[in-house]
């Protein structure tokens, strides 16, 4: 049974009020199917718009969905393995496929082996299934801490983010978001073994798997302090959590002949190494002095919004059990700010940090009680702005997504 932090009430079929973390809850939480239906409708609309945009431009229907930017690398790894593709960048560096973590192309290869159509449809199937699993995880976390209303708006807002277009592409963000969301839920439920295992998988999916590992390690450490070191679960979770990320980093190092530095050399070739935000500051200076494409100032606004939302999340009177959400979101935002890489890609890097939307979701849940029409107008306006923008960035703009 869940322990209720305060009385809850029903408003328009949505339960309002926080629920403190307890043990793992069996079965689906109330209202999740409705939230998943809205999520699927929003993202399916985005898929239709992408297909129509490609067809209108004389391209194959799945050109953007399955073959845009990073998707090309993932498909090549799924079909041919690592160490088989290189690219001479405009910086004069040789970029290799070792920059891409293995779990998404591995699952794509598995799906391709049993399904017809090739690696492209297989990758889309993996990405779309993971997106639904991620939305379910987002809802489960929101419902456990804040109730049905906040959880529903949390899923809706996450689906409507401009950068959420990548959830429907052959990218690894949807898989990473699913693993992160369920790892956070496992931490809230104190299911240490599952949290550690999911952190391992997240670390095999994206470099930002470190954020999941940090959430597990910090939460486990706090539990060990509270229990004076008793209990095997927190120890196991803390030791397991970084193993996926560390294992891949060392494997790349071994393959490149430099065990400790090989992976970071690979990332440096992509200009994605740790530079403490120097490249971002240079980019902002150039943008301020000379201007640039619309996608650049919008990207700056989205990253700045993530920073502001994290501050609001810290100030929010959240349940004490929300510590892993704060750690995960904070580390992810910090990595986005301190690592290099194309600035236009940074909004999608912060996409999995769904807890940042909790303060806004809680506000909309409260507004649903008395100002339902206004809330619907705001959500509709966000959809009308975000969906076309996401399609434009993915299928039209010649800027790395």
Q: What is the pLDDT of residue 23?
A: 60
* Residue pLDDT, tens place only, 116-150: 889 999 999 999 999 999 999 999 999 999 999 99
Which of residues 316 and 1 earns the better pLDDT score? 316
Q: What is the pLDDT of residue 293?
A: 82
Cβ-based neighbours of 357, under 8 Å, separated by 6 or more: 154, 157, 158, 309
**pLDDT for res 17:** 46
* pTM of the entire predicted model: 0.92
Read off the pLDDT of residues 215-258 as tens digits, 9 standing for 90 and up: 999 999 999 999 887 889 999 999 999 999 999 999 999 999 99
352/91: higher pLDDT: 352
Banded pLDDT at 340 (limits 50, 70, 90): confident
- At residue 26, the pLDDT reads 54
Give mean pLDDT, residues 169-176: 97
Which carries the bigger pLDDT value, residue 159 or residue 340? 159
Among residues of the chain, what percentage have pLDDT more than 70? 92
Query: What whole-number distance in Å separates Cα of residue 120 and Cα of residue 308?
Result: 37
Helix/strand/coil (H/E/C) assignment for every residue in 42-70: HHHHHHHHHHHHHHHCCCCCCHHHHHCCH
Average pLDDT over residues 298-320: 88
Instruction: Report, as an integer, the average pLDDT of 354-372.
Output: 92
| Highest mean pLDDT: which range of 173-187, 288-302, 369-383 | 173-187
Residues 6+ apart with CB under 8 A from 297: 287
Confidence class for position 53, pLDDT limits 50, 70, 90: very high
Higher pLDDT, 169 or 1: 169
* Average pLDDT value for residue range 149-157: 97
Taking residues 338-360, what's their average pLDDT? 93
- Indicate if the pLDDT at residue 336 is higher than 70: yes
Q: What is the mean pLDDT of the chain?
A: 90
Residue 277 has pLDDT above 70, yes or no: yes
Q: How far apart are the C-alpha atoms of 354 and 187, rounded to whole Å?
A: 16
Geometric angle at alpha carbon 35, from 34 and 38, rounded to 5°: 90
pLDDT at residue 16 tops 80: no
The pLDDT value recorded for residue 320 is 57
Give the Cα separation of 401 and 37 in Å (integer): 27
């Amino acid at each position: 049974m869940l322990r209720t932090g305060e009385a809850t009430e029903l408003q328009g079929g949505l339960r309002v009020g926080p629920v403190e973390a307890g043990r793992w809850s069996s079965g689906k939480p109330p209202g999740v199917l409705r939230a998943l239906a809205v999520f699927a409708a929003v993202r399916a609309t985005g898929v239709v718009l992408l297909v129509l945009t490609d067809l209108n431009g004389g391209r194959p229907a799945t050109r953007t969905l399955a073959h845009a930017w990073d998707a090309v690398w993932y498909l090549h790894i799924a079909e041919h393995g690592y160490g088989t593709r290189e690219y001479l960048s405009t910086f004069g560096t040789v970029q290799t496929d070792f920059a891409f973590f293995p779990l998404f192309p591995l699952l794509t290869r598995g799906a391709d082996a049993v399904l017809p159509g090739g690696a492209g449809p297989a990758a889309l199937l993996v990405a779309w299934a993971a997106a639904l699993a991620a939305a379910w995880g987002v809802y489960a976390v929101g419902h456990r801490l804040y109730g049905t209303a906040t959880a529903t708006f949390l899923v809706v807002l996450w689906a409507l983010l401009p950068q959420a277009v990548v959830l429907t592409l052959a990218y690894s963000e949807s898989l990473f978001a699913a693993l992160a969301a369920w790892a956070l839920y496992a931490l809230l439920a104190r299911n240490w073994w599952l949290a550690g295992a999911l952190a391992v998988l997240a670390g095999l999916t994206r470099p930002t798997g470190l954020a999941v590992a940090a959430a597990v390690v910090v939460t486990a450490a706090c539990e060990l302090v509270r229990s004076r070191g008793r209990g095997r679960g927190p120890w196991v979770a803390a030791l397991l959590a970084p193993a996926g990320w560390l294992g891949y980093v060392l494997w790349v190092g071994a393959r490149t002949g430099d065990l400790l530095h090989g992976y970071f050399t690979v990332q440096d070739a992509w200009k994605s190494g740790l530079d403490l935000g120097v490249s971002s500051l240079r980019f902002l200076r150039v943008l301020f002095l000379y201007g640039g494409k619309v996608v650049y100032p919008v990207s700056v606004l989205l990253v700045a919004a993530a920073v502001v939302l994290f501050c609001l999340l810290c100030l929010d009177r959240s349940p004490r059990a929300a510590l892993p959400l704060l750690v995960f979101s904070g580390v992810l935002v910090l990595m986005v700010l301190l690592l290099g890489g194309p600035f236009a890609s940074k909004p999608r890097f912060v996409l999995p940090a769904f807890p940042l939307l909790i303060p806004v979701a809680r506000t909309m849940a409260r507004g649903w009680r008395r100002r339902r029409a206004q809330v619907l107008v705001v959500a509709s306006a966000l959809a009308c702005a975000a969906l076309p923008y996401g399609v434009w960035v993915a299928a039209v703009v010649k800027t790395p997504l």
